[in-house]
Amino acid sequence: MSATVEAILDVTERRIREAGYHGFSFRTVAAEVGVKGASVHYHFSSKDALAAAVTRRYNERIAKAVDEKVKAGTDVVAAWIDVFRGALSDGTRMCLCGALGITLSDLSPEVVAEVKRFFDQAISSLIAGGVKRHRAIEVLATLEGAILMASVCGDLSTFDEATAALR
């Protein structure tokens, strides 16, 4: 992947996590990356294609991060908590798929499929780690709510309080 494509994906992901699907355009992404809008169009045929690519990359990165923690001996629930908490502490805020899920009806089928894949993979990961399905859904719902509350309140301790019972 070229440095330009990587920068386009990085900027788009940050903007979605901060302001949702409607928080970015090819023009704003291009300006922030320092390229012409045509360069973004060259790599991504549409806003939906760009959002889908960002979501695929995010899904892969999160799955890998959780998997690495579990392989290192971290309990699967604690691994998911740590990954979500890391998003808050590094300043990126919302879960990308949580932010996109808020406007699901505005998204193309390709982006919707990637958002759903994130949630399906998260639940499957928790189940594979020995968590019962109903508990896996509860864990994921709590994490999504906790990251939203902490983002809105601007306070990491809100996330910790909301997720304390999961540990």
125 has a pLDDT exceeding 70? yes
98 belongs to a structural domain: yes
Q: For the domain that residue 66 is a member of, what is the CATH number?
A: 1.10.357.10
How confident is the model at residue 93, as a pLDDT?
A: 80
Residues 6+ apart with CB under 8 A from 27: 37
100 belongs to a structural domain: yes
72 belongs to a structural domain: yes
Give the Cα separation of 57 and 13 in Å (integer): 9
Give the Cα separation of 136 and 131 in Å (integer): 6
84 has a pLDDT exceeding 70? yes
Q: Domain range for residue 137?
A: 47-166
- Going 93 to 22 to 111 to 2, the CA torsion angle's sign is negative
Give the Cα separation of 126 and 145 in Å (integer): 17
How confident is the model at residue 166, as a pLDDT?
A: 95
- Total number of domains constituting the chain: 1
Q: Which two tokens stand for residue 87?
A: 């998003």
34 belongs to a structural domain: no
User: What is the tens place of the pLDDT at every residue in 23-80?
Assistant: 999 999 999 999 999 999 999 999 999 999 999 999 999 999 999 999 999 999 999 9
Going by pLDDT thresholds of 50, 70 and 90, the confidence category of residue 92 is low
127 belongs to a structural domain: yes
How confident is the model at residue 41, as a pLDDT?
A: 94
66 belongs to a structural domain: yes
25 belongs to a structural domain: no
Supply the mean pLDDT for the chain.
Answer: 95
Q: Which two tokens stand for residue 59?
A: 């899904």
